[in-house]
Structure 1
Amino acid sequence: MSLTGASMLKSRFDISKSRTEAEPEEIEEENTEAKEEEVKEEEVSVEDKIVYPERRLNRSEVSVRLSLLGKTAEGDGYTYLKAACTGMSLTNISAIKSFQHLQFVDVSDNCLDLENLQAVTELPFLVLIHADKNLLYSAALKRMKYMQVIIMNNNFLTSVEDVYQPELSTLEVGYNKIKKIEFAKKMPNIKCLDFRHNLVRDIESIDFPNLDSLYLAGNEITSLVGIERLVNLRILHVRKNPIKLLNGFNSELKKLQYINLRNCKVATLRQVKKLRVLPALETLILKGCPYMGGTGEENPVVAEEEEPAELRIEVLASLPRLKRLNKGVVTPEERAEAKELLKQWIEEGENDEEEMVEEKEDGSIID
């Protein structure tokens, strides 16, 4: 039993339908500040509430929330594969164990702690668990044979060290309080890690050679050193992190096609040029960075401004293989201008000395 393709790499999908390959540009967080404020309000309300009235799920409630008709795991008949028991203030979901053919379970927006969520581990064919907005301080579900996708956004997780599922391919734990991405046991099948809006400071402990997509927007990352180990990485989304230096990239990252550095702290063309080593890079998002005239902060007004045309040409001259820069597809006219600028640089002899001086004055460490 396996979930193939990029359709299972993110939780923003309808699992009753197939989804085309994810386009990271389209899933950038909107109204980030409002979302963060919402999370803070939820934290206060959860922590202030002392007693949670018992609310047990019953079988009849599950029955009317079944969907996604499909073949049984044994292939000898048809059954409903998905149950969505969301927003019901549930504290106990033991009744779900009666539905042994379930492969997808969504119990988001309830009052479940880890002990009560463990009921889903008794579903022998479970592939995906979606448990956003519950009372989870740990994601350590008991080992399951087929579990591939765990989604636990907006909980109270501080670590993922105790997470272990042998077939896990996607772990999404955004809007928690996780400081380090570190696991006690190796999970070789991991393809997608999503730790948006946590407290992560670096990626040096991430060692997943098969990782395809890494989403780390809204953390406290200052360096991308360690990225060189992720030799199969295709998507890197690090929007809104205090990243100034683009160290760590090398030519072994042959599949890296998309990098989102929106509202980071990249301030010079010299740093952008470090991405030349990436042979497959097609899309680069730099909007909001100081180099593009931004401040490195989320700002709805700035977000609507067009980046200076001359800066687009500089980036395209530095990275001629790009097909898309920020939200704009590279035009033939821009490519021609970039080619002329590159020719001019070669004739004059490229010199990053001025940028190096600027970085030293800014206190950045030059490699």
Structure 2
Amino acid sequence: MLKSHFNLKKDETEEAESEEEPVTEAIVEEEKMVIDISEERILKKSEVSIRLSWLGKTAEGDGYTYLKATITWMKLTNIEAITCFKHLQFVDVSNNNLNIQRLQPVTELPFLILLQADNNELYTAALKTCKYLQVLILNYNQLTTVKHVFQPQLSTLEVGYNQINEIVVNKMPHLRCIDFRYNVIRELPLAMDFPKLDSLYLAGNKIKSLLGIETLTNLRILHVRNNPIKYLNGFVPELVKLQYLNLRNCKVATLRQVKKLRMLPALEVLILKGTPYLGGPGKESAEAAVEEEDPEIRVEVLAALPKLKRFNKTEYSPEERQEAKELMNQWQEEGEKDEEDDEDVAEELGEEMRPNE
């Protein structure tokens, strides 16, 4: 599955001005971990020079220069030297000792498009505004919120493996990919205002309900594996572009829940491996990783969702499609009946009436 951002870890051979916002008080609050001056590690210009790559045209188009700097695993606490390389567009400073103040020099690069700063000492993401920044990647830090992020051209925000407990994101008109995987989010906002959002990654959180996704009418990819999601409420016919839904290791247990996905006109790929419906534990485990698929359940899912092209890792065969067609005819003749105990129905109705806390 492709994500809609650049990957700085690839091999080298692969591929009107915004007003600057002041750094908020959160930055001061963030500096709970002060780096001892005796441990300071200052980046040198010569060290940047030997870590440049991606030869390309300058932003002005008047010559060629190196556009990418990979400055990782250096225990850096000061990267001011990077400001001497004004043509840089892609910067990776992962695996250093940078807090938000010490990361700010990258915002002085006038043509910065992508910034990756995984595994540093960031407690806030309150970077100064960059005119052209499109991709911001801050995995494996200590972030608890991204409410201070505002970059007018941002299209991808990736903040996995932090301590974020709610989705509070400033309205940025070009945002297309949000990645909050493996944080501690418990619920979705009941009104998410991301009109161009294409991909939403929320794996490994504590989300029980998908109520709130109704407004994401341009969403194409929804990845929520390893969440305690039991009821598939929140899906509406207006989600006309949703093609890929990953519910692996969630707690979906019945065909009745699967049938709720019928209203998604573009759904082509559904992942339910590891769910109780397929005999799994409903959570990440070695057992879920090796479980075998029941051929009858594969056909049952296709009969419920005849537009599917792939279920889990395998595309449907013509033979399976014929069996599913026969099962659909049988359901029509007998009248569909989805058994679910009264306790589950009551619990689900309670979820549907969940207030916006």
For residue 139 of structure 1, the aligned residue among 114, 119, 125 is 125
2:168 and 2:228 mapped to 1: Cα distance? 21
2:314 is equivalent to residue 328 of structure 1: yes
For 1:235-314, list aligned pairs within 5 A. 235-314=221-300
Question: 1:40 maps to which residue?
Answer: none
SS in 2 for 1:142: coil
Question: 1:365 maps to which residue?
Answer: 349
For residue 10 of structure 2, the aligned residue among 10, 14, 28 is 14
Are the aligned partners of 2:280 and 2:287 in contact in 1 as well (CA < 8 Å)?
no
Task: Output one character per residue of 1:183-233: Cα deviation in whole Å (capped at 9) or x when no partner.
Answer: 2x3101000000000011122253201000000000011110111100000
Are the aligned partners of 2:222 and 2:245 in contact in 1 as well (CA < 8 Å)?
yes
* Amino acid in structure 1 at the alignment position of 2:177: C
1:259 and 1:160 mapped to 2: Cα distance? 25
Are the aligned partners of 1:121 and 1:141 in contact in 2 as well (CA < 8 Å)?
yes
For 1:163-242, list aligned pairs within 5 A. 163-183=149-169, 185-204=170-189, 205-242=191-228
Are the aligned partners of 2:249 and 2:288 in contact in 1 as well (CA < 8 Å)?
no
2:219 and 2:310 mapped to 1: Cα distance? 18
* Amino acid in structure 1 at the alignment position of 2:66: Y
1:88 and 1:13 mapped to 2: Cα distance? 16
SS in 2 for 1:365: helix
Task: Output one character per residue of 1:163-199: Cα deviation in whole Å (capped at 9) or x when no partner.
Answer: 000000000000000011112x310100000000001
Are the aligned partners of 2:227 and 2:283 in contact in 1 as well (CA < 8 Å)?
no
For residue 62 of structure 1, the aligned residue among 43, 48, 64 is 48
Identity rate, percent: 62
SS in 1 for 2:65: strand
Are the aligned partners of 1:67 and 1:83 in contact in 2 as well (CA < 8 Å)?
yes
1:98 and 1:358 mapped to 2: Cα distance? 65
Question: 1:44 maps to which residue?
Answer: none
SS in 1 for 2:222: strand
* Amino acid in structure 2 at the alignment position of 1:365: L
The alpha-carbon distance between structure 1 residues 128 and 85, as it changes in their structure 2 partners (threshold 3 A), is same
Residue 102 of structure 1 deviates from its aligned partner by: 0.0
For 1:16-165, list aligned pairs within 5 A. 16=12, 51=36, 53-165=39-151
Residue 351 of structure 1 deviates from its aligned partner by: 1.7
Residue 60 of structure 1 deviates from its aligned partner by: 0.1
Question: 1:27 maps to which residue?
Answer: none
Are the aligned partners of 1:11 and 1:172 in contact in 2 as well (CA < 8 Å)?
no
* Amino acid in structure 1 at the alignment position of 2:261: L
Question: 2:28 maps to which residue?
Answer: none
* Amino acid in structure 2 at the alignment position of 1:138: T
The alpha-carbon distance between structure 1 residues 191 and 16, as it changes in their structure 2 partners (threshold 3 A), is farther
Structure 1 stretches lacking a partner, 5+ long: 1-5, 20-46
Structure 2 stretches lacking a partner, 5+ long: 16-31, 353-357
Question: 2:25 maps to which residue?
Answer: none
* Amino acid in structure 1 at the alignment position of 2:121: L
Worse-matched range after superposition: 293-302 or 157-166: 293-302
Residue 12 of structure 1 deviates from its aligned partner by: 7.2
Question: 1:39 maps to which residue?
Answer: none
SS in 1 for 2:67: strand
Question: 1:316 maps to which residue?
Answer: 302
1:240 and 1:330 mapped to 2: Cα distance? 24
The alpha-carbon distance between structure 1 residues 84 and 263, as it changes in their structure 2 partners (threshold 3 A), is same
Residue 300 of structure 1 deviates from its aligned partner by: 2.2
SS in 2 for 1:333: helix
Residue 49 of structure 1 deviates from its aligned partner by: 9.9
1:195 and 1:349 mapped to 2: Cα distance? 42
1:298 and 1:249 mapped to 2: Cα distance? 24
2:54 and 2:147 mapped to 1: Cα distance? 33
State the aligned residue count.
332
TM-score between both structures, scaled by the size of structure 1:
0.86
TM-score between both structures, scaled by the size of structure 2:
0.89
* Amino acid in structure 2 at the alignment position of 1:260: N
SS in 2 for 1:79: strand
1:206 and 1:60 mapped to 2: Cα distance? 46
Are the aligned partners of 1:131 and 1:153 in contact in 2 as well (CA < 8 Å)?
yes
The alpha-carbon distance between structure 1 residues 116 and 285, as it changes in their structure 2 partners (threshold 3 A), is same
The alpha-carbon distance between structure 1 residues 269 and 292, as it changes in their structure 2 partners (threshold 3 A), is same
Task: Output one character per residue of 1:234-280: Cα deviation in whole Å (capped at 9) or x when no partner.
Answer: 00000000101111111111110000000001111101000000011
The alpha-carbon distance between structure 1 residues 211 and 68, as it changes in their structure 2 partners (threshold 3 A), is same
